[in-house]
Amino acid sequence: MSATEDFGARAHRMLTERGPLCAGIDPHGTVLRSWGLSDDLAGAERFALTMVEACAEGAGFIKPQSAFFERFGSGGVALLERVVAEARSAGALVILDVKRGDIGSTMAAYASAHLDPAAPLAADAITASPFLGTGSLQPAFDLAAAHGKGVFVLARTSNPEGEEVQLAARRDGGTVAQGIIDELAARNAGAEPLGSLGVVMGATIGACATREGPQVRESTYGIARGTADGRDNAHDLSVFNGPVLVPGMGAQGGRPSDLPRVLGPAVNSAIPSYSRQIAQPGPVVTSIRSALDALQEECRSALGT
């Protein structure tokens, strides 16, 4: 697999060959303690490298959450560099969850830190926040295009606080979220088999998590979030030809059966991301692999792949 091939082409190949599932690596204190590990750098190292060993050869996508490494200082950042390098060496595509979003030279520096192949923390793709304007991410888009990398831009997140921005109405009557989706769709236009600019769509949007699973609910911001068929109608992915990263799976309430409701016609480019549910059987590597394989098959079945 060529490192200079567009990220969209590589992601499409992974979806076909390994399946859609993305394994999150989040050394959260609660997870470390559930493994009998200390909530310190040593515990994070044991956890993260075990997860790489268990997941990186089977999952097409690995998503480390940078914040859970950064909290340990320089040692945590060095560990993150190792996790990214080892996961990529095992053949997985690494989506570094950093949610960078700034303007001008600062955004260019963030892009260089994670999308320049010469950087110690270079990944295959990053997450980015567009709420200083999608155009503010241009340095990341440019560097991604130059080096065959990807950028996943937040559009609709599962947290209720996001609604006041993401579902706000623009002058043309559409939502802010739809404007982000439309701009990225235009940037991906003509790309085959997928564009390299993706969106982030929370698995539980248009729903609230309950013990029985997500249930459709109404927005408090004046936009209906439930139609007769249960589909959230605050966004439209019908012409979006890029990968769609779907966090909020598993412990946060999202299930594979929710993906067609959330994504509609873009469901074939879904990359559902699990973290705690895969890590839960640890620290035994074979148990983690079994959990990953079971979730992979569940996702394949729900997506019809």
DSSP 116-156: STTSTT--SEEEE--TT-GGGGHHHHHHHHHHT-EEEEEEE
Proportion of the chain above pLDDT 90, given as a percent = 85
Query: How far is residue 87's CA from residue 42's CA, in Å, rounded to a whole number?
Result: 19
Res. 234 pLDDT band, cuts 50 70 90: low
Name the 3-class secondary structure at 273: strand
Give alpha helix (H) positions in 7-137: 7-17, 29-34, 41-55, 66-70, 74-89, 104-115
Query: Rg (Cα) of the chain, in Å, rounded?
Result: 18
pTM, entire model: 0.91
- Chain mean pLDDT for the chain: 90
Q: Which residue is catalytic, options 99, 147, 255, 300?
A: 99
Choice among 67-76, 92-101, 210-219 with the minimum mean pLDDT:
210-219
Single out the residue of 274, 63, 244, 21 nearest to residue 154, CA to CA.
Answer: 244
Token pair of 84 as six digits = 């990214």
Mean pLDDT of the 176-190 span: 97
Query: How far is residue 271's CA from residue 273's CA, in Å, rounded to a whole number?
Result: 6
Which residue ranges make up each domain of the chain? Answer: 7-303
Mean pLDDT of the 224-249 span: 71
pLDDT score of 209? 34
Choice among 17-21, 203-207, 269-273 with the minimum mean pLDDT:
203-207
pLDDT score of 145? 98
Mean pLDDT of the 242-266 span: 93
pLDDT score of 232? 47
The pair phi, psi for residue 55, each rounded to 5°, is -115, -30
Query: Residue 269 CA to chain centroid, in angstroms?
Result: 12
Position 206 pLDDT exceeds 80: no
Cβ neighbour number for residue 209 with a 10 Å cutoff: 16
pLDDT score of 220? 34
DSSP 231-258: ---S---TT--S-EEE--BGGGSB-GGG
Which of 25-29, 223-227, 233-237, 250-254 reaches the highest mean pLDDT? 25-29
Token pair of 249 as six digits = 């799976």
Element (H, E) at 292: helix 285-303
Domain 7-303: what homologous superfamily? Aldolase class I (3.20.20.70)
Query: How far is residue 241's CA from residue 213's CA, in Å, rounded to a whole number?
Result: 29
Could you tell me if 151 and 187 are in contact, meaning their C-beta atoms sit under 8 angstroms apart? no
Is residue 63 part of the annotated active site? The answer reads no
pLDDT score of 50? 98
Can you name the residues that pair with 200 across neighbouring β-strands? Answer: 154, 245
Can you name the residues that pair with 294 across neighbouring β-strands? Answer: none
Query: How far is residue 99's CA from residue 83's CA, in Å, rounded to a whole number?
Result: 18
Res. 225 pLDDT band, cuts 50 70 90: very low
CB-based contacts of 235: which residues, under 8 Å, 6+ apart? 155, 156, 175, 177, 178, 181, 201, 205
Res. 215 pLDDT band, cuts 50 70 90: very low
Position 267 pLDDT exceeds 50: yes
Query: Which CA distances in Å does 231 have to 216, 226, 278, 303?
Result: 8, 6, 27, 16
